[in-house]
Amino acid sequence: MNAIAPIADAAFPVVIVGHVDHGKSTLVGRILHDTGSLPEGRVERLRAESARRGLELEWSFLLDSLQLEREQGITVDTAQIWFRGRARRYAVLDAPGHAEFLRNMVTGAAQAEAAVLVLDAEQGVGEQTRRHLYLLSLLGVGSIVVAVNKMDRAGWEEARFAALRAELAAYLGALGLRAAQVVPVSARHGDFVVERGDAAPWYTGPTLIEALDALPTRPAPVALPLRLPVQDVYRLGEERVLVGRIEAGRVVTGDEVALLPGGRRARVLRLEAWGQEQPASAAAGQSVAVVLDRDVFAERGQVLAAAEAPSTEAQSLAVRLFWLDTTPLRTGERVTLRLGTAETRATVEAIEAVIDVDALTAAPAALLQRNGVARARLRLRRPLALDTVGECPRTGRGVLVRDHRIAGGFIVEAVEAAHVHLGETAAPLGPEERARFNGHRGGVLWLTGLSGAGKSTLGARAVRELASRGVQATLLDGDNLRRGLNRDLGFRLEDRAENVRRAAECAAILADSGLVAVVALISPVAAHRAEARRIVGEERFREVFVDADLATCEARDPKGLYAKARADRLADFTGISSPYEAPMQADLRLDTASLSEGEATRRLVTLATAAFAS
């Protein structure tokens, strides 16, 4: 398979947006017909389809091909088609206008270099129109042409057109935007779409297609510094092969590049192309496989950037975001952030201003409702390599994920670089700072119970499950401790006390560093466990009684210890020759004689997440 995909015939990407039923799909259908972009026989099939439904020729059926769309009369997805104007070729994204499908509209607009706003001359500027314009400003779509549609229904009144043009100019001006052209059209009849027509002698401006042809082209992504998000890393003998799609710039054999985060530098040894001649370079839009001249560690989510103009390594972002989930976004909430191929947990530190898209006013808030727009500050769990949207749009915008679904999108307005200054000693992080970075507080789950009750098994399962939920946890197992740190201790009462004390001190250090330490230790003496609680601290210590009766534990006897104790070959064995003092008020009791491992683990994890949430 070729490692480098050819760049498609370049087309000027335009998104069509507007309020539901303002005629977007009809307009695109008319454009396709009037520019001669339809295949032979398509209009005849369109007439037949329209007649079958008792309608006149319905241009929107060209795009609304999904049965759901035809039955409900609304566009639910972003359809992409091509046509050629007099000046250039266009890729048109017909984006939904219905509020329920705003998510899809954002997907289309994010790819666009310009936008056509379709506005019903009778209905005028509504909430969705303002919201779409605001989203276009968020996504950096600066070139806008307005098509005031259905002018035939408004009697082609010049006064109505002038009033709408003035209203739009005021709103766009408040956003720092302006319409390149405002064109009166009738999409159904074709007036002023491609040809002028005689319906409005008072209008002397360009047709819609002429207005599009006159729009400036932004600098091509290839003119920007190199940005190659790493999608995957493969081994080719002793070499690492970094693969991904170039989002900006160009990569050339011999170029010096930086791998971010981390800043490790290397030169491009070659671009791999299996089974054919190796190319010397590749540009934005192409997928590549890069081999560096140094064996530097790389992983998915890093960015290969131009060494002379690298991305910023940042952990704190100032963003503008739009929220699409039905459940509001709240200050302090943790979500998953995806940017390029990178993914990390992020905390919403502040919703600094929720923006009223009608009045264009802003005010701080504790939450952001569905379809809301806000300026916010995000704190990432780990630094990512990224740019502001002004520096590089492709690596300056991403999405927020909740419950494995895209719940919102954002653009990066400013970043706080994650600098490490050599020679300086950083101040120790306090518990609140660690909790903010980790997304949870440090703490100790102390699992006590007889040998064979299931402490180590449940502890190991809990650590794995906590890790899958983004909680940093580790296991301190009694047997492992006695093979290392506590190998000098026996099983006399004073040795048992010291065994618990050392384990508690270790657990406290781990909790101080922000981890959840899961301690699996028989710890049979209640007073010793009380001392462990004192060492760790009452607020971050949770005692869990892994309760299985002696008969059950002896029947399991996973290490053969009970058999040895019964044969008097093992002295001071808890439960046989040494007593076990069961907790009287444990934070959680798990009867492992009756509970399944899965249910016991679930309860243990529930306790941990509730106790140590930040």
pLDDT at 105: 42
Is the confidence at residue 199, as pLDDT, over 70? yes
Looking at the structure, give the CATH architecture of the domain made up of residues 221-306.
Answer: Beta Barrel (2.40)
Residue 216 identity:
P
CATH superfamily of the 440-611 domain: P-loop containing nucleotide triphosphate hydrolases (3.40.50.300)
If one counts every other C-beta atom within 10 angstroms of the C-beta of residue 449, the result is 29
Looking at the structure, give the CATH architecture of the domain made up of residues 12-213.
Answer: 3-Layer(aba) Sandwich (3.40)
Task: Give the pLDDT confidence of 455-485 residue by residue, as tens digits.
Answer: 999 999 999 999 888 888 999 998 889 888 8
**Contact criterion met (CB below 8 Å) for 518 and 503:** no
pLDDT at 394: 82
- The per-type count for the chain, helices as H runs and strands as E runs, is 15, 29
**CA dihedral (538, 544, 549, 553) positive or negative:** negative
pLDDT at 424: 40
Is the confidence at residue 441, as pLDDT, over 70? yes
Q: Note the Cα 20 to chain centre separation in Å.
A: 28
End-to-end Cα spacing for the chain: 48
Alpha-carbon distances of 441 from 336, 472, 533, 610, rounded to whole Å? 18, 10, 17, 10
Beta partners for 235?
240
Q: What percentage of the chain reaches a pLDDT higher than 70?
A: 84
Task: Give the pLDDT confidence of 143-158 residue by residue, as tens digits.
Answer: 899 999 999 999 999 9
Structure tokens at 214: 């006159």
User: Quick one: which H or E segment has residue 116?
Assistant: strand 114-120
What phi and psi, each to the nearest 5 degrees, are found at residue 483?
Answer: -85, -15
**Contact criterion met (CB below 8 Å) for 427 and 283:** no
Average pLDDT over residues 305-322: 92
pLDDT at 560: 83
| Residue limits of CATH 2.40.30.10 in the chain | 221-306, 313-417
* pTM of the shown model: 0.54
Task: Give the pLDDT confidence of 241-259 residue by residue, as tens digits.
Answer: 999 999 999 999 999 999 9
The average confidence (pLDDT) of the chain is 83
Is the confidence at residue 188, as pLDDT, over 90? no
| Residue limits of CATH 3.40.50.300 in the chain | 12-213, 440-611
**How many Cα neighbours within 13 Å face the side chain of 542?**
24
pLDDT at 306: 95
Which segment of 11-15, 101-105, 113-117, 227-231 scores lowest on mean pLDDT?
101-105
In 3D space, the residue among 28, 188, 196 whose CA is nearest the CA of residue 116 turns out to be 28
Average pLDDT over residues 532-551: 92
- The SS3 assignment for 227 reads strand
Which segment of 104-108, 112-116, 568-572 scores lowest on mean pLDDT?
104-108
Q: What is the DSSP letter of 371?
A: T
**CA dihedral (345, 349, 354, 360) positive or negative:** negative
**Contact criterion met (CB below 8 Å) for 18 and 24:** yes
- What band does 57 get if pLDDT is binned at 50, 70 and 90? low
Structure tokens at 596: 């399944």
pLDDT at 421: 41
Residues with active-site annotation: 523
List all residues 6 or more positions away from 32 whose beta carbon is below 8 Å from its beta carbon. Answer: 38, 62, 81, 83
Looking at the structure, give the CATH architecture of the domain made up of residues 313-417.
Answer: Beta Barrel (2.40)
